Amino acid sequence: MHYSTNAFLFDLDGVIVNTDRYHYLGWKKLADEQGWAFDEEVNDACRGVPRMASLEVILRHNGVTLPEDQKHALASRKNAYYVELLQGIGEADVIPGAVAFLQQARALDLKTALCSSSKNAPLVLSNLGLEPYFDTVVTGHDIERAKPDPQIFLLAAERLGERSEACIVFEDAPSGVQGALAAGMRCFGIGSPEFLPQATWTARDFLQLDAQALSHRATV
């Protein structure tokens, strides 16, 4: 049975907006205060991962064990740094071609959803005026299980009234790609094929993509 593509589902960080550097700066500030090692390699392991899980990555890298209350306090402190940094977010932080691609999708009457584990996603969208481009927004507030669990994508498809087979997901992190595939969806990896080998297709950014051509890619 053939299904046409009716919906595009987008991660936020690293796909629509380059917030990675703000996350990096927030974690780096916290790590420096605690005397922990934190570099780009450790930061890459935190991409697409919720706040508490990211903290666990950093703690393991540094061989540190902490009680739960301290971990929650540190994660909250990092989030405060991140939210403060977001006040400086602007058009320069939007991924090249992303807005034009969203505009094209809307013009084609394709349904769109934002699927971000970040609980700050609505703030980012508001600061950049991107809310009108999405029919629904699913964040960490709406799910119990983070990527690579498919819950966030399945919930978005349910809200849009679409089958998984009719959705294409846009992701920049391996955990997101795994979640999309586990949801029975095809996935466009935004980044390098080497970093996202499981993605159905890959592209460096949206400048290389055409929403109309993608919408005609049916699945069996």
Place of tokens 């400048």: 207
Place of tokens 């500030």: 29
Single out the catalytic residue among 11, 20, 93, 172: 11
Cα–Cα distance between 153 and 65 in angstroms, integer? 33
11 is catalytic: yes
Return the number of other C-beta atoms located less than 10 Å from residue 182's C-beta.
16
Q: Are 13 and 118 in contact (CB under 8 A)?
A: yes
Helices (H), 38-191: 40-45, 51-62, 68-86, 98-107, 121-128, 151-160, 174-182
First-to-last alpha carbon distance for the chain, in angstroms, is 5
Q: Are 190 and 168 in contact (CB under 8 A)?
A: no
39 is catalytic: no
- Catalytic positions, written as ranges: 11, 13
